[in-house]
Amino acid sequence: MRSLRTVVTLSALALSLGLAACGDDDSSGESASATTTTKTEANAPCDITNPPLKNAGTLTVGTDKPAYPPYFEDDDPSNGKGFESAVAYAVANELGVKKENVKWTVVPFNSSYAPGSKDFDFDINQISITPERAEQVDFSEPYYAAPQAVIALNGTDAAKATDLAGLKDAKLGVQVGTTSLDAVNDVIKPSTQPQVFNDSNDTVSALKNKRVDAIVVDLPTALYLTAAEIDDSTIVGQFTAGGGDEWGLLAEKDSKLTSCLDEAIGNLRASGKLDEIQSQYLGENTAPTLN
Asked whether residue 216 is domain-assigned, the answer is yes
Kindly state whether residues 139 and 151 are assigned to the same domain. no
Closest CA to 290 of 159, 142, 128, 129: 159
Region of poorest pLDDT, from 5-19, 72-86, 129-143, 195-209: 5-19
Closest CA to 118 of 144, 92, 136, 98: 136
Residue pair 95/260 in contact by the 8 Å Cβ criterion: yes
Distance CA 195, CA 173 (A): 5
pLDDT at 190: 97
What would you measure as the largest C-alpha separation in the chain, in angstroms? Answer: 57
Kindly state whether residues 21 and 95 are assigned to the same domain. yes
In the chain, the number of structural domains is: 2
Distance CA 246, CA 126 (A): 9
**Residues above pLDDT 90, as percent of the chain:** 65
pLDDT above 90 (res 243): no
pLDDT above 80 (res 148): yes
Of 67 and 96, which is predicted with more confidence?
Answer: 96
pLDDT digits (tens, 9 = 90+) for 70-126: 899 999 999 999 999 999 999 999 999 999 999 999 999 889 999 999 999 999 998
Residue pair 135/37 in contact by the 8 Å Cβ criterion: no
Closest CA to 203 of 183, 227, 185, 221: 221
Kindly state whether residues 190 and 270 are assigned to the same domain. no
Distance CA 106, CA 109 (A): 9
Mean pLDDT (the chain, rounded): 85
Asked whether residue 192 is domain-assigned, the answer is yes
Kindly state whether residues 125 and 180 are assigned to the same domain. no
Distance CA 68, CA 229 (A): 13
pTM, to two decimals = 0.72
Contacts of 112 (CB under 8 A, 6+ apart): 62, 64, 123, 125, 127, 137, 250
Look up the CATH number of the domain holding residue 38.
3.40.190.10
